[in-house]
Amino acid sequence: MTASDRQSHWQTVYLTKGEQQVSWSQADPQPSLRLIESVAPGRAASIIDIGGGASRLIDALLTSGFHDLTVLDLSEAALASARERIGAAGAVVRWVADDATVWQPPQAFDIWHDRAAFHFLVAESDRAAYLERLHRGVKAGGHAVIGTFALDGPEKCSGLPVQRYDPATLSRIVGPAFELIAHEAHRHVTPWGATQSFQFSVLRRT
């Protein structure tokens, strides 16, 4: 799938479905928020949320006192939904409509967060492009918090195939520039009551 195809797919999803009609919806963005707070050097930490879309993580980060925030997503509609929901408090957030495999990081961040974006990259070339940006986009001593479907998680999401991971495999793919320092399993319950198995890994940039 090309970057253009991905953008078209996700724009259509967010234009045609409400928050309670997508499986990844979370009223309480855990364990993402807790893991970010566990490695943040302070409330001034620079944080980017990859594939953040209309997620409520950015609301929670703002409420927790973080203010150097960037959200990157393929869908303008998803970002517009989040901006409208958050209102004036979202003025400090940088909203970026782009594909993580072609976007150029303008800086290195303290924390790179990705819940359920990387696992959609099933082509090796797309994964390599993403990882090249991850390596440039995290400061030395900074952290990546990456959540993907676990090995017993769904094989598809939103009609698209996914690549499932365990922490060891994800760490090996990310490479030796990052050290796996923590991981946990997570059972996500969709708005309609189905359960999905995720793994969350915390990796430190060496």
Confidence of residue 7 (pLDDT cuts 50, 70, 90): low
Which pairs count as long-range contacts for 178-187, CB under 8 Å and 24+ apart, including other chains?
Answer: 178/138, 178/144, 178/203, 178/204, 178/205, 178/206, 179/203, 179/204, 179/206, 181/143, 182/35, 182/38, 184/31, 184/35, 185/150, 186/30, 186/31, 186/147
Q: What is the pLDDT of residue 17?
A: 57
Strand partners, 59: none
Q: What is the dihedral of CA 108, 105, 12, 89, to 10 degrees?
A: 50
pLDDT above 90 for 195? yes
Could you identify the residue written with the tokens 């940006």?
Answer: 133
Residue type, 5: D
The predicted-structure confidence for 104-126, as pLDDT tens digits, reads as follows 999 999 999 999 999 999 999 99
Instruction: For strands 160-161 and 156-157, give the pairing.
Output: antiparallel
Interval 164-182 mean pLDDT: 98
pLDDT of residue 14: 55
Name the architecture of domain 3-15+30-205: 3-Layer(aba) Sandwich (3.40)
pLDDT of 11-38, one tens digit each? Answer: 665 556 555 556 556 889 999 999 999 9
Sketch the domain layout of the chain as residue ranges: 3-15+30-205
Taking residues 171-177, what's their average pLDDT? 98
